[in-house]
Structure 1
Amino acid sequence: GPCPAPKVQPNFNLQQYLGKWYEIEKLPAAFERGKCIEANYAIRKDGTIQVLNSQFYKDKLGVSFSYFTPYSPYLVLTTDYTTLSVVYSCTDILRLFHVEYAWILGRSRFLPPETVRYAKNLLISEGIDLFRMKATDQMGCKDY
């Protein structure tokens, strides 16, 4: 069926959101297979958002720019800007089915289990199926 319409962060502050976030868990996305995955958000001169993603895959560092087309939604369901962000994206295909992604992001590579549980419960309460969600490997990662 069509995409759910979850509640998003009220009074979202982009300036506070910018910078580096580490991927803690995700609903699998084909374009992210590696470990040590992180995303860096910045504002371009034209006011649009640039997302630089990096990951290690088979011991090689890979860097890519935003995997979203200009029309893909990027919904921040909740964030405190300093610890946790819960992000959801969904695209309807002819209203017959939908393709969805979800991310639990942290400002550090590891979040306390209760924080991750809180994030997952939020996604579940919005009707998002977490059956395919998996943790991202952040072990042994170096910061460059």
Structure 2
Amino acid sequence: MKAFQVLFVLYLAAAAAEGQSFHLGVCPRPSVQEDFNVTKYMGTWYEIERLPAAFEKGKCNQATYSLLTDGTVNVRNAELLSNGKISSIEGTAKVKDTSQPAILGVSFFKGVPDAPYWVLSTDYQSYALVYSCSDYFGLFHVDFAWILARTRVLTDAVIIQLHDKLAAAGVNINRLTVTNQSGCDIMT
């Protein structure tokens, strides 16, 4: 048991150093978009704000989704690094349960369990609010949240509404950071 406690503390320290958003206890279970239509969700989304994520280091962050013939979704995430190079990764997403199509699992690496991808709210044309949370041993959880838009800017009024939805779901919106979406011409 002592070894587990040491590993647990080391993990928490590493997560804190990377700026991850971790919390004691289990993940909250916010409500998701009703009657979610994955086909309407396809296309490019630009990151407006996010909870800290160690795997995101650049600016101009964007995600492009395209429907595959088997019903899964191709996911391509890209960002512009400080050295001027584009970093990208591709994976797949799939609806976990057809009765709840707004709850998807995303995988970027074979053999690694899917990460949760919950669409909490979207109008498909201008904004999307996405949440992800993973429990660890029922002791703590790490969560992520993204405010996405179809353009590189989103009105303050919409951002405030999305902040309210996240806060109502138990997400600490004070940890959200604004994504730099300027100087992104190379990304198109």
SS for the counterpart of 1:131 is: helix
SS for the counterpart of 2:35 is: coil
1:22 maps to 2:46 = yes
* Runs of 4+ in structure 1 over 6 Å off: none
1:71, distance to aligned residue in structure 2 (A): 2.5
1:127 maps to 2:170 = yes
Distance in 1 (alpha carbons) for counterparts of 2:122 and 2:51? 18
1:83, distance to aligned residue in structure 2 (A): 0.5
**Aligned position for 1:136:** 179
Task: Give the TM-score normalised by the residue count of structure 2.
Answer: 0.73
**Aligned position for 2:130:** 87
Distance in 1 (alpha carbons) for counterparts of 2:133 and 2:91? 16
| Correspondence list, 1:1-144, <5 A | 1-58=25-82, 59-66=84-91, 68-69=106-107, 70-142=113-185, 143-144=187-188
Q: CA RMSD in A?
A: 1.4
1:44, distance to aligned residue in structure 2 (A): 2.2
Task: Give the TM-score normalised by the residue count of structure 1.
Answer: 0.95
As a proportion of its length, which structure holds more helix?
2
- Which structure exhibits the higher relative contact order, with contacts defined as CA atoms closer than 8 Å and separated by 6 or more residues? 1
The structure with more radius of gyration: 2
Q: Which runs of 5+ in 2 are unaligned?
A: 1-24, 93-105, 108-112
